[in-house]
Amino acid sequence: MKIHLTSVFVDDQVKALRFYTEILGFVKKYDVSVGEKDRWLTVVSPDELGGTELLLEPAGHPAVKPYRDALFKDGIPLAQFAVDDVKAEYERLRGLGVRFTQEPLDMGAITAAVFEDTCGNLIQIATQPQ
């Protein structure tokens, strides 16, 4: 068994696609219309084009807003992405205007930072020391 697809709920798929590709550096894999305005929209790491896909899922279901609002209010990231160097990625993303809620923090087993994805979520980036 392996993880093939996971998702983040987004307020606006166009805005999310721009942020996840132009700012974070993911690559669009699928973009298929599934109704009047929603799309099956996935991105992948440019280093693993056949790897795990991230679905930029419309946040229209009534359960999504209270769930995301509670996580956001409590500072809990909805997803975590691995990076080679959290401090370098933090500086790169800050330079692009990304708002961080937690600067890089060494937690022993990992170093992590948390940012807002502009689409209603907190995302954590982390590096495991070698």
**Amino acid at the residue 78:** L
Sign of the CA dihedral 84, 87, 90, 91? negative
Positive or negative, the Cα torsion across 89, 27, 57, 119? positive
Per-residue pLDDT tens digits of the chain, which is 130 residues long? 999 999 999 999 999 999 999 999 999 999 999 988 899 999 999 999 999 999 999 999 999 999 999 999 999 999 999 999 999 999 999 999 999 999 999 998 999 999 999 999 999 999 987 6
pLDDT of residue 51: 95
Q: For residues 55, 60, 65 and 68, what is the CA-based torsion angle, rounded to 10 degrees?
A: 0
Q: What is the pLDDT of residue 93?
A: 98
Identify the structural domains of the chain with CATH numbers, from first to last: 5-127 (3.10.180.10)
Q: What's the predicted TM-score (pTM) here?
A: 0.93
